Amino acid sequence: MGWITILIVGAILGWISEAYLVKREYPGQLWGAIIAGIVGAWIGGKYLGVWGWMLGGVNVIGSAIVALILSYVVGLFGEEAAEEKTK
Instruction: Report pLDDT digits (tens) over 8-45.
Output: 888 888 888 777 777 677 777 778 778 888 888 888 87
Q: What's residue 62's pLDDT?
A: 80
C-alpha 67/C-alpha 61 separation (Å) is 10
Alpha-carbon distance of 53 to 55, in angstroms, equals 7
Domain span including residue 80? 2-86
Q: Does residue 78 have a pLDDT over 60?
A: yes
The rounded mean pLDDT for the chain is: 76
Q: Is the pLDDT of residue 85 over 80?
A: no
How many structural domains compose the chain? 1
Quote the pTM value.
0.73
Q: How many CB atoms lie within 10 A of CB 1?
A: 9
